[in-house]
């Protein structure tokens, strides 16, 4: 029997239990009487690696003129949590997440970190069910518009470097970054960072690493500062 989400995903799973697992949040385990039940965290770990490889491969092919640093920045702008959460919302993943009642009551079905994690877990599920090529095509299909948008700015500068140059040009003190929050499991945390320029908080951002969170904060600060 088909899973109700398969049509939106454009994927028909051979092993539908993989899709169910990809949608199962860790909070669900607290209410399960099945000691063998599991959540999507391992699939998220796998999907994160597959997604990163798929996007890196595509950017490498599309932008032969770009060096490693620029390609890394381009990839980070695509696989960041906010982007993946937006894709998950378009796919209506929140309606299908399996969570504990407490997580649901606090808005867990629409929380960006949960949506991004579920999307990565689905990538991992597609990889296990149908192999790397199918998973790669799935990633490119769902993130295609974000990849294409980079063509409009083929030489994106690293956001922290760009912010550094901008504040120097304005004769302001160098930006300072600090981590203000950490959420999630110890093996898969989500960090929130803020950037301070001349005593004022100009941007905040979240990411799966401290570096990515700082980059997102720098992007927000760049938008806040006039050229």
**Which residues are the active-site residues?**
48, 120
Residue that is written with structure tokens 């949590």 in the block? 81
User: Rounded distance, CA 50 to CA 58, Å?
Assistant: 12
User: Which of 147, 92, 87 lies closest to 123 in space, CA to CA?
Assistant: 87
User: Rounded distance, CA 184 to CA 213, Å?
Assistant: 14
Cα dihedral sign for 126, 131, 135, 137? negative
Cβ–Cβ under 8 Å, residues 145 and 203: no
User: Rounded distance, CA 168 to CA 178, Å?
Assistant: 20
User: Which residues, 6+ apart, have CB-to-CB distance to 182 below 8 Å?
Assistant: 189, 190, 191, 192
Cβ–Cβ under 8 Å, residues 44 and 26: no
Cβ–Cβ under 8 Å, residues 63 and 71: yes
């Amino acid at each position: 029997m088909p899973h109700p989400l398969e049509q939106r995903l454009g994927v028909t799973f051979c092993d539908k239990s993989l899709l169910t697992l990809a949608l199962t949040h860790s909070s669900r385990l607290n209410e399960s009487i099945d000691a063998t039940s599991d959540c999507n965290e391992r699939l998220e770990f796998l999907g994160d690696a597959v997604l990163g490889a798929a996007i890196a491969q595509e950017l490498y092919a599309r932008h032969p003129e770009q060096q490693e640093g620029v390609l890394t920045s381009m990839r980070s702008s695509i696989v960041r949590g906010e982007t993946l959460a937006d894709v998950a919302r378009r796919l209506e993943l929140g309606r299908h997440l399996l969570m504990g009642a407490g997580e649901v009551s606090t808005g867990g079905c629409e929380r960006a970190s949960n949506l991004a994690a579920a999307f990565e877990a689905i990538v991992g599920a597609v990889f296990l069910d149908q192999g790397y090529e199918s998973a790669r095509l799935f990633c490119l299909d769902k993130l295609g518009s974000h990849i294409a948008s980079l063509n409009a700015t083929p030489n994106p500068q690293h956001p922290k470097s760009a912010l550094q140059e901008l504040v120097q040009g304005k004769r302001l003190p160098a930006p300072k970054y600090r981590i203000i929050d950490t959420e999630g499991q110890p093996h898969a945390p989500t960090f929130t960072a803020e950037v301070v320029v001349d005593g004022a908080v100009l941007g905040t951002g979240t990411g799966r690493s401290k570096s990515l969170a700082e980059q997102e904060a720098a992007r927000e600060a760049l938008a806040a500062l006039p050229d």
